[in-house]
Structure 1
């Protein structure tokens, strides 16, 4: 009878846990990002708490306000700037429909070998512009619907970001109690190895945060410098966009169109400079700085962490940037511990062939 009662209690507890996870399912993404942000900036929280004589709630409120200013305000400002640029693009398309292309730039004909052919192509496109717009007009509605859907998704992401910035306050304030709870839970599950795996997860997440955010910041600064030197308008906005696109590892989508714009304006020298700067400096820093920051201070093979980063993004989306390497790191450590426990000592592996030879002799 006691066994049946215990089984019933376990089933009820599992049902309660499943129902709780179901209730929290819409907020998993926001909870995840709030936890990552709180963990990555916990040294700042600890320092601010010390400066405020241990008042954690005040420190959490101040640090949350700082994140709102540093993250939410620039994103809103960036959204308004993008809206202005979209209006300019629409105006350009309407002008092209009504007035056609402007006269070809003088430098276009001066290009050796292909200059004359490019000018003829320019005039052909200008003459056929009306027919071209008539051809693509049926697809403009589909493009508009796609843009509306993307805008709704971006709006949902903004709401999720706002919720994350609210939740991060509670992670700051209750961080020590949450850490004790997680440690007790892992200790109940895996015993003495709880500290080891907590340090492993914490170290992996911290290195990925340093590598991803550090690389994105470096690329944004280098891109801003290149845009300023090349005289590209909106250098600060483009730098912020480079920071955002660095997370999905495609900053050429920012500096590439800037190079094309410089070519359009006839600034061939600056276009060549920005193209070289973008390819070798902005994009090249990703191949040097990110692996260094991710592998720094860890004992995991770099390939495990990098495969976790790329595979995690493909499997889980942007959340996989942190989930992927953490899962692979834990799995690699578990397998290493299992092999170490089962493998015979190295000296036995060396002595065994000698003993076999003596037995045969």
Structure 2
């Protein structure tokens, strides 16, 4: 920090904190400006965001903690009201439940994938056929039909020879999948830490909520508190409309695949969940599954599975808008644009930050337009 900036900050500290109390009301606006200058000087010494640089490693975790605490607060309040639990106990129970809810499916998915791969490895060592012969109808497919049929037939007859011919590609794919697995493990660990922090936020929710409202009021008076309410309602609605519907959709799709005997059902279910959350939709991974079912299973079973699966691929288009727009004055198109654009710009955190930013921006624009109309009417 430069010497001049340091002297200026010392002067501001004396003005703000050593000024006689009786003089402060008359100079509140000036004191507010002094606080802004002081915080800016400490936050951006020589143009560098020093405290922000210090906090950068934990900002995603803190954001997740705030998002989670806001999203599950109604459940936390219900738990306290129904069971009469103290805040700390209710927050701890909810945090443990969320950690189990996140970690348990990952452990089951990893175990299922390992068991499936071990089974394929044993069958491969024994020289058993891992794939059924390809249907003759594949040869009639345009462009790729003949090559796909030939490759499938070779793999069905001698999988070991096919694997030997593609050792380099398989090694690259293995490294790529290993990197994805390591990144996923780190994200899950970060999410678990965020859940613990969210539990602490819930335990002190009254105090923290009051502080947040006071801070919002100091920044933008009554509008600041209104924006805070918009942010909380938007986060809760997005968590219900996007995350809730995605979890329900993926769970029902996974049950259908388990009953039908689809291989790698756990991994496909997880992929469907991720695609549903990021608004791409699970159809990308489920349509090949439907094709596999029709080529592999009996006609009746394939028909029942298709009748069960296709409505599940479309149900989010009905449930998501209803849940996301419930109780909000912000138009549904604004919230949906925030979800999609936020996800593209900031990943999973952007899924929540995007709608909040656009909802507040929309409210600001509406207030600006209304103020202009009132000014025109007065004039």
Q: What TM bracket, shorter-length normalisation?
A: 0.7 to 0.9
**CA shift at 1:225, angstroms?**
5.1
Cα distance in 2 for partners of 1:186, 1:62 equals 30
Structure 2's unaligned 5+ residue stretches are 1-6, 13-33
Partner residue in 1 for 2:341: 311
CA distance in 1, matches of 2:131, 2:105: 36
2-structure distance, mates of 1:99, 1:27: 50
**Once structures 1 and 2 are overlaid, which stretch shifts more, 249-258 or 79-88?**
249-258
Offset at residue 193 of structure 1 (A): 1.1
Q: Is the 8 A contact 2:133 2:153 kept in 1?
A: no
- Does the C-alpha gap of structure 1 residues 52 and 285 become closer, same or farther in structure 2, counting only changes over 3 Å? closer
SS at match of 2:338: helix
Partner of 1:267: 298
Aligned to 1:5: 11
Superposed, 1:243-254 pairs within 5 Å as 243-248=273-278, 249-254=280-285
- Counterpart CA distance in 2 for 1:112 and 1:244 is 31
Q: In structure 2, how many angstroms separate the alpha carbons of the residues matched to 1:316 and 1:156?
A: 17
- Match in the other structure for 2:108: 77
- Pairing partner for 1:63 from 91, 94, 97: 94
Residue 215 in structure 1 maps to residue 256 in structure 2: no
> Does residue 31 of structure 1 match 2:62?
yes
Greater shift in the superposed pair: 175-184 or 52-61: 52-61
* 1:108-164 deviation digits (Å, cap 9, x = unpaired): 35x69959x979945984279777545422222222221221121112112112211
Matched, 1:187 2:217: yes
Partners of 1:230 and 1:273 within 8 A in 2 = no
Asked if the contact 2:321–2:332 (Cα under 8 Å) also holds between the matched residues in 1, the reply is: yes
**1:88/1:26 Cα in 2 relative to 1: closer, same or farther (>3 Å)?**
farther
Change beyond 3 A, Cα 1:281–1:136 = same
Q: State the distance in 1 between where 2:90 and 2:80 align.
A: 6
Instruction: Tell me how far 1:268 sits from its aligned partner.
Output: 3.7
Could you say which residue in structure 2 is the equivalent of 1:22? 53
CA-to-partner distance for each residue in 1:199-255, whole Å, 9 max, x for gaps? 211121111111012311331343245336645477677656644442133323553
Distance 1:184 1:203, change over 3 A: same
Q: Residue in 1 aligned with 2:179?
A: 149
Alignment partners' CA distance in 1, 2:249 and 2:258:
14
CA distance in structure 1 between the partners assigned to 2:152 and 2:199 by the alignment: 60
SS in 2 for 1:162: helix
Closer, same or farther: CA 35–112 of 1 in aligned 2, 3 Å:
closer
Q: Contact between 1:211 and 1:292, CA under 8 Å: does it hold in 2?
A: yes
Cα 1:172–1:102 change in 2 (3 A) is closer
Query: Deviation digits for residues 69-90 of structure 1, max 9, x if unmatched?
Result: 2222232222222222343455
Q: d(CA) in 1 for partners of 2:41 and 2:339?
A: 37
Distance 1:21 1:90, change over 3 A: farther
Give the alignment's Cα RMSD to 1 decimal.
3.8
**Correspondence for 2:330:** 300
Q: 1:323 aligns with which of 317, 342, 353?
A: 353
- Matches of 2:351 and 2:251 in 1, distance apart? 22
Q: Which moved more, 1:5-14 or 1:337-346?
A: 5-14
Match of 2:133 in 1: 104
Q: Residues 298, 113 of structure 1: CA spacing in aligned structure 2 closer, same or farther, 3 A cutoff?
A: same
Name the CA shift for 1:301/1:136 in 2 (closer, same or farther; >3 Å).
same
SS of equivalent residue, structure 2 residue 166: helix
* Alignment partners' CA distance in 2, 1:165 and 1:233: 32
* Selected match of 2:366 from 322, 336, 352: 336
User: Gaps spanning 5+ residues in structure 1: where?
Assistant: 350-361
Residue 330 of structure 1, CA deviation: 0.9
The alignment's TM-score, normalised by the length of structure 1, stands at 0.79
When the two structures are aligned, how many residues end up with a matched partner?
A: 342
Q: Report whether the alignment pairs 1:178 with 2:208.
A: yes
Distance 1:40 1:199 in 2: 13
Structure 1: how far apart are the matches of 2:262 and 2:174?
A: 28
Alpha-carbon deviation of 1:19?
A: 3.7
CA contact (8 A) 1:207 1:296 kept: yes
